[in-house]
Amino acid sequence: MSARAPAGGDARRITILGSTGSIGVNTLDVIAQLGGRDAFEIEALTGSANIALLARQARQCGARLAVTADPARYGELKEALAGTGIAVAAGRSGLAEAAQRPAGRVMAAIVGTAGLEPTLAAAERGADIALANKECLVAAGDLLIRTAARAGGRVIPVDSEHSAIFQTLETDNRHALERIVLTASGGPFRTWPREKMAAATPDMARVHPNWSMGMKISIGSASMFNKALEMIEARHLFDLRPEQIEVVVHPQSIVHSMVGYADGSVLAQLGAPDMRTAIGYALSWPRRPHLDVERLDFARIGRLDFEAPDEERFPALRLARLALARGGLQGAVLNAAEETACAAFVAGRIGFLAMAEITEKVMDRLAGLPAAGSIGAVMAADADARRLAATMAG
């Protein structure tokens, strides 16, 4: 594949939406490994509450603009960057400015639907989107993919499973693709009986066996809602039919996902459970960078296990298939209901299993919303689902 100039500007000029999160911090680490300021220009960084980290990052990488999503923290950020020449902005308009500035590649690493508006804005001007913020695709996949295609930008997955599929998808053999197999670690409750899961606390749920990640995605790995979101994410990224999307539990998180072809071949991408490989690939695509990450030692790993997911204990997977079958705005509804229920679980208001129960009830109540032509329709469905879920969560 030859390098191409993205429609949205120089691919070495980068904006990171959500630089202070787990993916954001890893992205800056990868950028430092790939030559830092000699190799990349950082156009804008955005964060929310952690102003000290955001200011330190902006100084270190010489960002042109730093944005906090929280308007109340504008003064604090301004003060922290006084005398540096780094522009400062806040709130929704600040996020929009960060997205609109001329970076050729934008790392979308905000968590949840909050990332949708700025990610769409970056896609609208043709930037390549390195997409970690899977909720964007779950809530508004058709819209985001269409917008990027129309403007001439690419959506390059950062989620490790989707990066694996992106890396093993033979574009010349697209017609021979039969299925994709998403791997799931099974999370900390993989072997727990349902009764024990019912009493699980947020502290038990947030401890992931293999990956170190933000709060929401860690809880989502325990409930397998993360995999549910990833099934819908895959449908939009790779234009798949629902029945082409399989999930297998693979506790070691070494095989990041697989693509099955018409000749019986299955191609897989393997690596240590370290997001920096997928991040580096998304920042460097179509090239593969050199990265200082752990190399797999197969003799030491010894074995790779696979098992069928248990949908009795993990109903999230069934709900993803329901959303895929119903279509329309069910992805947006599932996503918003789950985000709200997850917050209620973390706050101690509901039990672990209630997250799926509430999400399913909200999906049933809001079934039949037609596919969205605009971000307004998506955000309206999102707001309705949040309101219903919050009421059910008490």
CB of 347 to ligand NAD, least distance (A): 16
54-113 positions binding ligand NAD, by CB under 6 A: 69, 109-111
Distances (CA, A) of 50 to 38, 55, 112, 216, 326: 27, 9, 17, 17, 39
Taking CB within 5 to 8 Å according to partner kind, which of ligand NAD, Mg ion, none is near residue 47?
ligand NAD
State yes or no: residue 20 binds ligand NAD (CB under 6 A): yes
Three-class secondary structure of residue 2 per DSSP:
coil
Taking CB within 5 to 8 Å according to partner kind, which of ligand NAD, Mg ion, none is near residue 23?
ligand NAD
CA angle 173, 177, 181 (to 5 degrees): 135
Part of the chain binding Mg ion (CB under 5 A), chosen from 157-165, 198-206, 285-293, 313-321: 157-165
Measured distance CA(87)–CA(104) in Å, rounded = 19
The upper half-sphere exposure of residue 18, i.e. CA atoms within 13 Å in the direction of its Cβ, equals 24
Residue 239 phi, psi dihedral angles, 5° rounding: 50, 55
Part of the chain binding Mg ion (CB under 5 A), chosen from 25-33, 122-130, 158-166, 351-359: 158-166
State yes or no: residue 123 binds ligand NAD (CB under 6 A): no
CB of 90 to Mg ion, least distance (A): 30
Taking CB within 5 to 8 Å according to partner kind, which of ligand NAD, Mg ion, none is near residue 134?
ligand NAD
Q: Site for ligand NAD (CB under 6 A): which residue of 47, 141, 186, 260?
A: 47
Contacts of 387 (CB under 8 A, 6+ apart): none
Residue with smaller CB distance to ligand NAD, 152 or 273: 273
Contacts of 330 (CB under 8 A, 6+ apart): 322, 323, 324, 363, 366, 367, 369
Dihedral Cα 135, 155, 374, 47, nearest 10 deg: 50
Q: Which of 382, 390, 383 is nearest to 345 (CA)?
A: 390
Contacts of 355 (CB under 8 A, 6+ apart): 223, 225, 338, 341, 342, 344, 345
DSSP designation for 10: -
Part of the chain binding ligand NAD (CB under 6 A), chosen from 128-136, 233-241, 253-261, 384-392: 128-136
Q: Site for ligand NAD (CB under 6 A): which residue of 61, 213, 334, 388?
A: 213
Please give the single-letter amino acid code of residue 81: L
Q: How many CB atoms lie within 10 A of CB 333?
A: 29
Taking CB within 5 to 8 Å according to partner kind, which of ligand NAD, Mg ion, none is near residue 30?
none
CA angle 106, 111, 113 (to 5 degrees): 95
State yes or no: residue 144 binds ligand NAD (CB under 6 A): no
CB of 72 to ligand NAD, least distance (A): 13
> Mask: binding to ligand NAD, 158-197, rule CB under 6 A, as x and -?
-x--------------------------------------
State yes or no: residue 159 binds Mg ion (CB under 5 A): yes
Q: Site for ligand NAD (CB under 6 A): which residue of 8, 24, 104, 153?
A: 24
Residue with smaller CB distance to Mg ion, 97 or 159: 159
Chain positions contacting ligand NAD, by CB under 6 A: 18-24, 47-48, 69, 109-111, 114, 132-135, 159, 211, 213-215, 217, 275
